Amino acid sequence: MPTSELHDTTAVILAGGLGTRLKSVVPDRQKVVAPVAGRPFIFQLLTQLDDAGVRKVVLCTGYQADQVAITLGKAYRDIRLEYSAEPSPLGTAGALRNALPLLDSDPVLVLNGDSYCEVDLPDLFKIHQGPATLVVREVEDTTQSGRVDFDESGKIISFIEKGAISGPGWINAGIYLLGRDLLKSIPAGGAVSLERDIFPTRIGYGLRAFRTRGRFLDIGTPDSYSRAQKVFI
């Protein structure tokens, strides 16, 4: 069910990546608008947000920014869309810092534009506290994604690089609730990564994990892009 918290929350979709790994199958499009089951992939994320009650979404764009804006326009269903274009590649955290003047809620809901994860967003808000809450999803093998380790209370205790450990575990699902103070602390004007530069430095300062067992997929590689076609049909 939609909640008042989500209705008043600004959501951000990170949609500026180069999509280098996907160029062999999607050579001419920004990957977030690549067709999946007959329509741009980003529509799946916007539908998820609209169903949850979100009414404002900021698109952080970079590579082929005009293509994203032309595809989406100024609204999707009941969501108002705004755009924050990067003057140069800024990374996931740098893009958020660049968009800060448009982000008028605390916390801000952030989604990676090239992945989809089913999650109970109202429940995510209920448990959120501290600077950041990351949605995590259990998978059979964390080799390709890296691993997020946390204790019984949900407090994150470590991030392990992809390729370092194989076998089952929890991965970063690409959905976050981020407090405004954290966003303001991101250095402005340069390329900064949430995953490499920001989250690891917040371990021990209230970084939390929220577990989901909903469907998870990304479209970042030709194989995963092909699987996504079947999922959304």
CATH number for the domain harbouring residue 198? 3.90.550.10
Instruction: Return the DSSP state at 187.
Output: P
Q: What's the confidence (pLDDT) of residue 4?
A: 62
Q: What's the confidence (pLDDT) of residue 1?
A: 43
**DSSP helix/strand/coil, 188:** coil
Q: What's the confidence (pLDDT) of residue 62?
A: 92
Q: What's the confidence (pLDDT) of residue 112?
A: 96
Q: What's the confidence (pLDDT) of residue 19?
A: 61
Q: What's the confidence (pLDDT) of residue 3?
A: 58
**DSSP helix/strand/coil, 208:** strand
Check if the beta carbon of residue 206 is closer than 8 Å to that of residue 127. Answer: no
Counting the structural domains of the chain, the total is 1
Q: What's the confidence (pLDDT) of residue 20?
A: 76
Q: What's the confidence (pLDDT) of residue 5?
A: 79
Q: Tell me which residues of the chain have a pLDDT lower than 50.
A: 1
- 23, 74, 162, 184: which one is catalytic? 162
Q: What's the confidence (pLDDT) of residue 138?
A: 96
Check if the beta carbon of residue 37 is closer than 8 Å to that of residue 2. Answer: no
pTM of the model: 0.95
Report how far apart, in Å, the C-alpha atoms of 184 and of each of 43, 94, 179, 231 are. Answer: 29, 11, 9, 37
**What contacts 218, CB < 8 A, 6 or more positions away?**
112, 114, 115, 116, 174, 224, 228
> How many other β-carbons are positioned within 10 Å of the β-carbon of residue 20?
10
Check if the beta carbon of residue 33 is closer than 8 Å to that of residue 155. Answer: no
Range of the domain at 66: 4-232
Euclidean distance between CA atoms 7 and 207, whole angstroms: 24
Q: What's the confidence (pLDDT) of residue 144?
A: 85
Q: Is 162 a catalytic residue?
A: yes
Euclidean distance between CA atoms 208 and 156, whole angstroms: 5
Q: What's the confidence (pLDDT) of residue 2?
A: 54
Euclidean distance between CA atoms 142 and 198, whole angstroms: 21
